[in-house]
Homo-oligomer: A and B are copies of this chain.
Amino acid sequence: MPRNQQIVLDNRPQGEAVASNFRLVAVETPALQDGEVLVRHHYLSLDPYMRGRMNESKSYAASQPLGEVMIGGTVGEVVESRNPKYAVGDKVVGMGGWQEYSVVDGNQPGALRKVDTTHVPLSHYLGAVGMPGVTAWYGLVKIIAPKAGDTVVVSAASGAVGSAFAALAKARGCRAVGIAGGAEKCRYAVEELGFDACIDYREHSDVKAMSKALKEACPNGIDGYFENVGGWIMDAVMLRMNAFSRIALCGMIAGYDGQPLPMANPALMLINRMKVEGFIVSEHMEVWPEALTELGTLVGSGKLRPRETIAQGIAAAPEAFLGLLKGKNFGKQLVRLV
């Protein structure tokens, strides 16, 4: 039985999340029951939604229980199997959590998904060809539903969702404009990800300046917005939204002290007859096959070349996660566990 290092949630954040909210423990992996498989994780995905799970307060998902392994997506390899559907050596995606190994009931629908690494690197199944990619796909295709020639904007443009958003939007003939923090990320968004323009919110750091920059980057206004951040950036984007435009709400940060951030001018939703819709991609499993097929094709053909920031070893996960929350990563944040 291999030794399994895990990160558990030790205590809940008081305001900002800190490293001491987490605790590293080590356990023996248990013997497998019939139907179970043992997966050795190669990569752990770190994602902003995990911050919401750390709170006790009502969020769009259940709280992470104290003392239990942090929730998280993983890709890995079957190293032991008592399930005829899985063979040792199979590459699988699952929700293994912040740990080196997981024991999975292979008969539970959706618990594991076998993946093909011929054209798509294993790690990308946590990003462009995984949950973040499908998130971008759902928001763009199902909520924004753009037609060719529409201008679509995404915040956190250089991240995993933003990267996929750009490729999907360009494939539909849209003008794709990103918002990201820092000149380097903006250059990357335009030169590597295919955005037509990218606005640095550190350079344009208030509603008025951002709104002016958006006017230049979006001469025909904005038809669709994919919201990853909320707050003042959303206020600025709303000033440039066209009549009958759509906003897909995917992420909205709270204020520094955890208080809700207001929306400055909600009447714009009426004035411009906008549609604003919040969603969680895990509630729309019916679109995953179609979305993953398109995303896999975009990666396989080189039209979507997502960048990754990789921390090494499970003990590095908390610091890597806190960095992600501050935008220190560049592209998809992963932890390599092998």
Using CB atoms and an 8 Å cutoff, list the residues of chain A in contact with chain B: 58-60, 230, 234, 249-252, 254, 260-280, 283
Contacts and interface: CB of A to CB of B under 8 A. Distances in A.
A277 B278 contact: no
Given A260-B265, A263-B263, A266-B262, A272 B60 contact: yes
A189 B59 CA distance: 35
A117 to B, nearest CB: 33
Given A262-B263, A267-B261, A274 B273 contact: no
18 contacts: A58-B271, A60-B272, A60-B273, A251-B270, A252-B270, A260-B266, A260-B268, A262-B264, A266-B266, A269-B276, A269-B277, A271-B278, A273-B278, A273-B280, A274-B277, A275-B276, A275-B277, A276-B276
A234 B262 CA distance: 13
Q: How many copies does the complex hold?
A: 2
A59 B268 CA distance: 9
Nearest to A266: B263
Given A234-B266, A251-B270, A273-B279, 4 more contacts: A230-B266, A252-B267, A252-B270, A275-B275
A163 to B, nearest CB: 21
Contacts of A249: 269-270
Contacts of A252: 266-267, 270
A269 B278 contact: yes
A258 to B, nearest CB: 11
A154 to B, nearest CB: 15
Nearest to A251: B270
Nearest to A252: B267
Given A252-B270, A270-B250, A276-B277, A265 B262 contact: yes
Nearest to A249: B270
Contact of A267 (B260, B270, B272, B283): B260
Nearest to A277: B275
**Quick one: which of A254, A267, A277 has the most chain B CB within 10 A?**
A267
A227 to B, nearest CB: 8
Contacts of A267: 230, 252, 254, 260-261
A237 to B, nearest CB: 13
A249 B250 CA distance: 21
A273 B283 contact: yes
A274 B278 contact: yes
Closest 3 pairs (CB-CB, A-B) = A270-B278, A260-B265, A262-B262
A233 to B, nearest CB: 12
A232 to B, nearest CB: 12
Nearest to A260: B265
A265 B266 CA distance: 11
Contacts of A276: 269, 275-277
Contacts of A264: 260, 262
Contacts of A260: 264-268
A254 B268 CA distance: 11
